[in-house]
Amino acid sequence: MNGRLGRIAVVSLGIAASCGAILALASAQDWVEGGDGPSSGSSWSLGSWSLGSWTRPHWIGSSWAGASRGCQGTPGGSPSAARERRTVDLAWSGSSGVKIRIPAQVHYQPGPTATASVTGDADLVGHVRLRDGSLEWDTVEWGRQVDCLRADDLVVQLSGPAVTAWTIQGSASLDLSGLRQDALQITAHGSGAVAASGEVRDTTVEAAGSGGIDLGRLTARTTTANVHGSGNLKLPDGSQESLRITLRGSGAVSASGTVQQVSLESSGSGRADLGRLVTERASATIRGSGDVDLAPRQDADISVSGSGVVRLHGAVARLSSHLSGSGQVRQVP
């Protein structure tokens, strides 16, 4: 009797284990395919053995495998697909600031009347909005697909009265042409690209990430730049009154022309290529392993803590240097 009961127990356990394995494999297959597995309350059966209803765990259907396939169903997510393109006008009455929250090529030039349009995939452009100066998707769901798109999938054209503050996020690109205004502030976060041309009195740049900003075709009286991360910044050429630079990380800053006064603070391994920017007065505080070129003519006040190197191009009338560590201040022709 005991032997018979034992055999029955072994058979029952074996069947239960087999059913559990099949259930796990089926759920795993659906998980990898991006599905949701069996729905809550559904009944699974194998032959005459029923597993009854079950409650789907919350994590099924939200795995990395399903997420990795999310771009395939997104318009513009497949680079090889032939896509119909069209242009849609955006409602915009002008604003002092514009925030770019989608991956797009944005072009702006001054004009008497505010106009805006977006060109791109026919299924995408209808979801673009310009609300309160924010260029964004119409719903949060579309915002979650932002990483599936390239910056060339959408092209936005803006024209209108002066916009003094621009913010770009992610991989967007921004081109500002023919500027004629008193102030310009550019804030860039991510891997995007910015280029500007024209005339501006006061320019401010706040950059964080690995993006690039080219202001080489812009003229300005004063420029203030704060660069964090590994990005690259090309500063306005020509004649300026003052230039203030804060460089943190491994980024690079370059400029040429003339300026009355340069102030530089560098922390990390950044590069400041200012050897072709002739200045009357220069002050530099270098912490870390920064690499700096300056071209002062009257006064130079240089402080180096760490292993940084500062090269002074040309003759300077007065030099004050403070060194701590293995850093160097060199004078070169």
Q: In this model, does residue 54 exceed pLDDT 60?
A: no
Exposed e or buried b for every residue in 38-64, given b needs 16+ CB within 10 A? beeeeebeeeeeebeeeeeeeebbeee
Read off the pLDDT band of 124 (50, 70, 90).
Answer: confident
DSSP string, 82-107: ---EEEEE------SEEEE-SS-EEE
pLDDT, one tens digit per residue, over 147-202 is 566 656 899 999 999 999 999 999 999 999 999 999 999 999 999 999 999 999 99
Strands 173-190, 165-170: pairing is parallel
Read off the pLDDT band of 141 (50, 70, 90).
Answer: confident
Residue type, 260: Q
pTM higher than the cut 0.85 = no
Mean pLDDT taken over the chain: 82
Read off the pLDDT band of 12 (50, 70, 90).
Answer: low
Residue type, 172: A
Of 130, 200, 138, 193, the residue nearest 159 (C-alpha): 130
**Domain 82-332 indexed as CATH 3.40.50.1220:** no
pLDDT, one tens digit per residue, over 285-318 is 999 999 999 999 999 999 999 999 999 999 999 9
- The angle at the Cα of 313, spanning 311 to 314, to the nearest 5 degrees, equals 145
pLDDT, one tens digit per residue, over 244-271 is 999 999 999 999 999 999 999 999 999 9
Read off the pLDDT band of 237 (50, 70, 90).
Answer: confident
CA dihedral sign, ordered 305, 242, 246, 191: negative
- Residue linked to tokens 């202001």: 215
Alpha-carbon radius of gyration of the chain: 30
Of 240, 193, 246, the residue nearest 218 (C-alpha): 240
Read off the pLDDT band of 10 (50, 70, 90).
Answer: very low
Specify whether the CB–CB gap between 186 and 118 falls below 8 A: no
Instruction: Please state the domain extents for the chain.
Output: 2-68, 82-332
Task: Identify the pLDDT of residue 38.
Answer: 41
Cα–Cα dist 131/98, whole Å:
10
Read off the pLDDT band of 4 (50, 70, 90).
Answer: low
Read off the pLDDT band of 241 (50, 70, 90).
Answer: very high
> Which segment of 109-113, 124-128, 289-293 scores lowest on mean pLDDT?
124-128
Task: Identify the pLDDT of residue 238.
Answer: 87
Q: In this model, does residue 112 exceed pLDDT 60?
A: yes
Phi, psi values for residue 49, rounded to 5° = -100, 120
